[in-house]
A and B are shown apart, each in its own frame.
Chain A
């Protein structure tokens, strides 16, 4: 809710505002943000879905092969203010891939980044415009955001790897 207010404040309302969730959990968070925005402004901000599997630079490195799923952006992103939404910001590589994917769809006016958790350890020059909570972590830990929509319960869990 606070992030929704911040987004509206920075973008001065919902005009030209679009939310794009990064699969998987970013999508649900984007939809929740859109719900909050609707409550505040009474207006809809379109929500798109981005699958970044095909843009990853670490496809060969991760053991579990990710499943490619659909990207669904059924609106024009040219000259729009896009807010990318993801659950956890870590190395910044997902965001890098998402930026590459987005520019293949058009030329947005701005791209902003909203994340639910920022856990540090960036490997790329990436920062978030809106952060739900900063959680200092060690690289030996994993941060899992669980959502009612996907996991039956809203919670953030830090696990020792």
Chain B
């Protein structure tokens, strides 16, 4: 299995083998962060630009740490302080970054499809760090990596995703990734936060939290994204906690060693009880550690695929996949 994509835009496009290649590469990279000198020269002389149109601390820092452990140079562009305020378009910004001879753009944008559009217009690599409600592939990959590390396999697992499914790119990427690897996924949320087409993606829907927890091997708790509130869809915070919050009471009815994940930032007392977030089932901080290894693997693979004349545009790699 060889990685040939210049970009990582989402898990929907990837084959099972490609996802497994990222995971196994990440496994090797995890060791680097345990060394005294936490650095390898693999991307020496490469430039990674973090282009973030939405606020983010953990994802941006994680990508920055990952790039630096590969010896790449990193430039962070926060949109509040950039020319976008003067009216520059996303593609123009991307072209300028390309003209600076950067090698990889890591982009976070509030519009679904932003990363894919950028990738179409540029020859350098684009890594999607979250586009609107669409996908957040590296988050799902690190969730899956953590699950696999804990349980040894993904195939056959039952994973529940609880929370604001409608607005969640993390949920979508997780559903694509987990189902491709043979896990079954249940999503659970108030009715108004379950999008209509979610079952077509291969997920089961539960409206009752105890039902979603009862047989699950792992539960991924999502943050309520109140900043995306578009109208009447959101329940009151207290009401949500009462009906869907993950509490120690509710966990007592679940499998004893259920794995509790959260992509962060956590809102204690809204979607998760404080003691549960810090409890024995929680792997929230391990997810953060694993995120570095996963992002190192992604940066390494796209940089390698895009080196020299070997540029493979998305359309070509898709036809390769289809012809298999």
| A residues lining the B interface (CB < 8 Å) | 51, 53-55, 59-60, 64-65, 67-72, 100-101, 104-106
How many chain B residues sit at the interface, stated as a range, is 20 to 34
Q: Which residues of A contact B85 (CB under 8 A)?
A: none
Please name all residues of chain B whose beta carbon is closer than 8 Å to the beta carbon of A51 when the two chains form the complex: 28
Is B158 close to A, CB under 8 A? no
Residues of B within 8 A of A72 (CB): 31
Once the chains bind, are B28 and A104 in contact (CB under 8 Å)? no
Q: Is the CB of B2 within 8 A of A68?
A: no
Given A51-B28, A60-B308, A70-B28, residue A65 in contact with residue B40 (CB < 8 A): no
Give the docked Cα–Cα distance between A106 and B1 (Å).
33
- Interfacial chain A residues near B70, Cβ < 8 Å: 54
Q: Check A70–B41 contact: CB distance below 8 A.
A: no
**With A68-B300, A70-B31 in contact, do A104 and B308 touch (Cβ < 8 Å)?**
no
Q: Is the interface of A mostly helix, strand, loop or mixed?
A: loop
Query: A97's closest neighbor in chain B, by CB?
Result: B41
A59 with B25: CB separation less than 8 A: no
Known interface pairs A71-B31, A104-B35, A104-B40. Does A64 touch B2 (Cβ–Cβ under 8 Å)? yes
How far is the CB of B68 from the nearest CB of chain A, in Å?
Answer: 14
Binary contact readout B10-41 vs A (1 if CB under 8 angstroms, 0 otherwise): 00000000000100110111011001110111
- Interface flag for B304 (CB, 8 Å): yes
Bound state CA distance, A105 and B3, in angstroms? 29
Q: Are B41 and A55 in contact (CB under 8 A)?
A: yes
Contacts of B3 in A (CB 8 A): 65
Interface: B238 (CB within 8 A)? no
A68-B28 contact in complex given A54-B41, A105-B35, C-beta closer than 8 Å: yes
Contact B25 A67 (CB under 8 A): yes
Write out the residue numbers on chain B whose beta carbons fall within 8 Å of the beta carbon of A55: 40-42
Residue of B nearest to A103 (CB): B37
CA distance A54 to B24 in the complex (A): 15
Nearest Cβ in chain B — how far from A147, in angstroms?
Answer: 22
Interface string of B290-322 (1 = CB under 8 A from A): 000000010010001101100000000000000
